[in-house]
Structure 1
Amino acid sequence: MKIFSTIKYTAVVAAFGLGLTSCDDFLNRPAEDNYNAGNFYQNDEQCYQGVNYLYNSPWYDFQRGFIKVGEVLSGNMYWGSSPYLTFTINGTDEDLVNMSCSLWAAIGHANTVYNYIGGASAPSQTVKNYTQGECLTWKAMAYFYLVRTFGDVPIIHDNTAEIGAGTYSTKFKVQRADVYEYIVMTLEKAMELLPPKAAKGRIDYYCAEALLAKVYLTRSGLGQNGSRSQSDLDMAAKLAKDVIDNSGRHLLDNYADVFRLANNDSEESLIAWRWSSGREPWTQQNTLQSDLAPTGFDEFGDCWGGYGGPSVDLQDAFGIDVINTNPAMRIDPDTRRKAVMMLPGDKYEYFWTNKGGFDVLRFCYDTEDYGKGGPGEWQSPTGAYNVKHLYGNNADHEAATGVSAGVMCNQLATHILRLSDVYLIYAEAVLGNSSETSDASALAAFNAVRGRAIPGSTPYTKITFDDVWKERRLELAGEGDRWYDYVRLAYYDTQRAINELVGQRRNSYWNLNGLYKYYYENGVWDVSKAAAASDGAEAGYDETTAAPNVTASSFTLPFPTTDTALNKNLLADPIHEEVRELYAY
């Protein structure tokens, strides 16, 4: 779907359909059918319900791009021959097109719902403010993804005005600096409207403030050469510190708990896609388990993600060597490793709870009893399976939510901004352009994140950029964020970003299945014996694939060709706009 036909479509749907609204406990939709703008938004509850679907449906087609851009492109995940692995993406790529469409849909819906709530007379002003603030936060989030993905992009401030003026298909791209200023302006307005505390799972003042802190940290390097804007760094630190000190939120004690169904709306989750497990309407549900889990992980026959997995490079970052380390001897000081990637020998008490937990090797090789429907082999060529974005089997889903999952349907929340991210934003912003810092508050934030992950570890007494950079990778691995860290790094230190990406281990291993199967059947970890038993070569790393061809232009992905064909102005140089003068809320 083209960007600007999406603008028209979303305006109509939001105005007359409300058919994309979700229907789980958090996102109840209206009991009546076929509401339209003339008879909806008549009371406070309808305002809440009218915003609910902004937490899921418009974002549905971004799910695959969220992983492929955020994780595969960044080198955190292996995905076969994907162009995101090899930096060969073009404007016809289906996932890129769907991603773009989804982000513009999120903006279009947020704009339209914002206007209808503003024009309603019956709801209380408090609730109108609250729900309009939610709309603006989601709009800012969509623009934040767009500007970091595509660079210069058009600004669609009001769908209805664009359609009425007939200018929606002749828009020019706006310079990135102006788009960032528009995001800042939008979040400032959202913070004016939002309450300091909201119902569980909903966006409040501190959620929008946390996003604004991340925007300032990202923008701080834009157009710089080797350093970052101190004023933007100062603002990022100030906003992040306010969230840390005054939001009343805290990190959960156990890192893995953040990603469990039972904690969908935990205090650590600031902004998340909050899905339903229903299929009507399609687009309200989480489908990431299908793309990321190995065959047979649930009973619906909808998992096909076993042939990818966390990259060898990410394993290196966690200190993992799947060839030369006996699983029984593996030392895992960082608890995040197991919450990010399954390795041979791993067992999970929170998956397959009706079977006493999930044993990954037994699942792969005991297909007669325990792993019925399973692959019968180790599928992942990197030696690791994904863990994040998996809910387990239907018994796990029902136990946590009280409702059944379904084919490509679950309601595990997708956290896109967490409190631990804000802690690391604060530490990095305080560090700023210095080579190191021993600032007590920055250290407290950094050590809180690292200390949870590595219990009993010695707190750092000073931190460098490299410390924070690595900590961000390990803390947020699998959460669609890493590529955008490279984008913001490339704003002011392009060569470092290029060098890191080119130097990554993005290839796969060969003959891991023989090694893992031999270990499962014999309890012995021996590469040579496993090769002989399987009549194959010894398991090893494939070094034949060339490093990706990364250049300075790689940090901006191409606009979908469907959009540039419709609007030739998107091929022209971007224009400058004084956004605070042109666009008022």
Structure 2
Amino acid sequence: MKMKRVYKILAVTAFFALTTSCSEEFSVRPPEDQISLDNYYSTNEQVESATNGMYARTWFQFNNKFFYAVAEVGSGNMYSGSSDVSAMRNFSLNGSDPELNNGWSSLWANVAQANLIINFLPDRVGPAVSEDVLNNTVGQAYFMRATAYFYLVRLWGPVPIIENNLDHIDNPQINTNRVEDIYQLIESDYQKAIDLLEDKTRTSNYTENARVSKGSARAMLAKVYLYEEKYTEARAMAEEVINSNEFKLLGGDQIPDKTFADLFKFPNNNNEESIFSLQWVVDGNYGSANNCNTQFGISTAAVTTSNASYGGVFGPSQDVLDLYPSGDLRRKATIMLPGDEYPEIKVLVGADNEEQVGFTVPPAEEIGGQGAGAAIKKYCIGIVNGNETGPIDAWAMMENNTYIMRYADLLLIHAEAVMGGSGSTSDPAALASFNAVRTRAGLSAVTSITFDELFTERRRELCFEGDYWFDLGRLPRSQAIAIISAQNRGNMFTEEYFTPDESDFLLPYPDNDVSKNPLLLEDPVPYNFGEE
């Protein structure tokens, strides 16, 4: 029966047409490939390669526009007037939005690919494959599934729990499950990842740091616990990561020769601070590399940082232009303001597109970037320039990594977990973590912190990295609505203010999926974990 067909499962490079939008990915299995797993997974190297695509291609349509259009434009960190990515600016996003469908499909692609590895890879390896290699590979799949579900539940709330896509081939109409059940799955998956993944020590040999580790899973689980307000568990898990000394702050006491700005330079891919990063690669295929340099860059008649014929789909919001206090080293590494100098960035200048190394940001009215009067620096690395930027593909996409989580986030999670839901703390453990992030930014240490100060510090540290929308979602709705309503969500020419409804903090399900699976609109049901 159908199980026989499972044994001819896709090779790593197939990845079920991940560059297209497939509205049924969460309910149907990936297509088969002519390569049999019996033959393909006969060596350690082949098994290790099974998760390669899950560090890039499965995430592409999520990261390309959707992530920033929702998490950054929605939170008020970014501004865009481009119709395909601006709906969350005024909370008009609906189920027919193409980028909504792209983000949804990409996350379910991650779930489907992880399920394939978890359920079938252990039975399809040859005798020469090491048990440690197999365990580490399956551990990565559990990690990826947990991470995909962590985004799904925070973006949509109730969604279907699918642990084996083959279970739903004959009946793809699936109920959603309760939020608390989804979090139970996420916790379980990260714990399995902790059990199966390798221990690592992140070193200056960055090529060895690319894959996730036990420490990566512990760090992500600490974040999950924080979202669940399980402060004791979040603190304990965060302290396991801190005490392991696996990760370090670039520009902190342990790596003083680097800076916060170095986090976003291509030569520092997979640095000691990276807990989990998407590993983009220029391989000739659309959807394998990173488009952020184009999406965030400057492209005008006078100067361009983009390798494409356009740039600056997103710009900084007016609300973040004064986010950073004087002396905060993060500002210039996050937001490009008129007159800022970036000697390491290569640009094209003038109508003749003359190449120039060393870039001074032009006056506000000449920046472009949606009329923001400024531009986004994070993930903008400029015109391709050898080892400084790495290679480029036919779509002007590059290989600079995208952070999903880094050590500074973990330290701020630890400080908040120690605070434990109270309004302030002077606990030395919380202060040690908080001040490590703050002093790396060039600011003075403090002797106590309030929740509001910690919340603002998270926004400054992680601005444009996709966290602030989810942080706002952790606040009481009335407080989050008040924060957003006070933001100038217009551009440098026109102030605009919008007030979200409570319902705007969860996204609509894509219309195409609702038409094929009307149960998405029904009340969520409990999930039966008893058959594990």
TM-score by length of 1: 0.79
Match of 2:219 in 1: 210
Separation of aligned partners in 1, 2:479 and 2:499: 14
Match of 2:243 in 1: 245
Separation of aligned partners in 2, 1:17 and 1:117: 12
1:114 aligns with 2:102: no
Match of 2:10 in 1: 15
Q: Which residue, 422, 435, 448 being the options, matches 2:436?
A: 448
Match of 2:91 in 1: 87
Q: Tell whether the 8 Å contact from 2:122 to 2:134 is kept in structure 1 after alignment.
A: yes
Match of 1:349 in 2: 343
1:569 aligns with 2:526: no
Q: Tell whether the 8 Å contact from 1:212 to 1:236 is kept in structure 2 after alignment.
A: yes
Query: Secondary structure at 2:519's aligned position in 1?
Result: helix
Query: Secondary structure at 1:272's aligned position in 2?
Result: strand
Match of 1:524 in 2: none
Q: Which residue, 346, 362, 381 being the options, matches 2:371?
A: 381
1:37 aligns with 2:18: no
Match of 1:141 in 2: 147
Separation of aligned partners in 1, 2:367 and 2:140: 46
Separation of aligned partners in 2, 1:394 and 1:38: 42
Separation of aligned partners in 2, 1:52 and 1:101: 19
Q: Tell whether the 8 Å contact from 2:424 to 2:451 is kept in structure 1 after alignment.
A: yes
Separation of aligned partners in 2, 1:301 and 1:573: 45
Cα drift, residue 355 of structure 1:
3.2
Tell me how large the CA RMSD over aligned residues is: 2.3
CA-to-aligned-CA distance 1:465-506 (integer Å, 9 cap, x gap):
0111000000000001111111122xxx11111111111111
1:160-309 pair list within 5 angstroms: 160-163=166-169, 166-167=170-171, 169-197=172-200, 199-220=208-229, 232-253=230-251, 254-280=259-285, 282-295=286-299, 297-298=304-305, 300-305=307-312, 308-309=314-315
Larger radius of gyration: 1
CA-to-aligned-CA distance 1:364-420 (integer Å, 9 cap, x gap):
99xxxxxxxxxx66454221101112221111xx22366445433211100110000
Partner amino acid, structure 2, of 1:183 = I
Q: Tell whether the 8 Å contact from 1:14 to 1:109 is kept in structure 2 after alignment.
A: no
Q: Tell whether the 8 Å contact from 2:275 to 2:407 is kept in structure 1 after alignment.
A: yes
Separation of aligned partners in 2, 1:299 and 1:406: 13
Separation of aligned partners in 1, 2:500 and 2:467: 19
Structure 2: unaligned runs, 5 residues or longer: 1-5, 17-32, 202-207, 252-258, 348-354
Query: Secondary structure at 1:39's aligned position in 2?
Result: helix
Match of 1:414 in 2: 402
1:340 aligns with 2:323: no
1:318 aligns with 2:324: yes
Percent of aligned pairs sharing the same letter = 35
Separation of aligned partners in 2, 1:299 and 1:95: 22
Partner amino acid, structure 1, of 2:422 = S
Partner amino acid, structure 1, of 2:152 = L
Q: Tell whether the 8 Å contact from 1:346 to 1:359 is kept in structure 2 after alignment.
A: yes
Separation of aligned partners in 1, 2:58 and 2:8: 11
Cα drift, residue 116 of structure 1:
3.3
Cα drift, residue 111 of structure 1:
1.0
Q: Tell whether the 8 Å contact from 1:18 to 1:36 is kept in structure 2 after alignment.
A: no
Separation of aligned partners in 2, 1:180 and 1:377: 43
Partner amino acid, structure 2, of 1:303 = Y
Cα drift, residue 434 of structure 1:
1.7
Match of 2:451 in 1: 465
Structure 1: unaligned runs, 5 residues or longer: 1-10, 22-32, 221-231, 320-331, 366-375, 511-541
Cα drift, residue 275 of structure 1:
0.4
Match of 1:504 in 2: 487
Q: Tell whether the 8 Å contact from 1:174 to 1:576 is kept in structure 2 after alignment.
A: yes
Partner amino acid, structure 2, of 1:355 = Q
Query: Secondary structure at 2:345's aligned position in 1?
Result: coil
1:391-540 pair list within 5 angstroms: 391-395=381-385, 398-400=386-388, 403-454=391-442, 457-489=443-475, 493-510=476-493
Partner amino acid, structure 1, of 2:478 = Q
Cα distance change on mapping 1:343 and 1:67 into 2, 3 Å:
same
Partner amino acid, structure 1, of 2:180 = A
Separation of aligned partners in 2, 1:136 and 1:298: 38
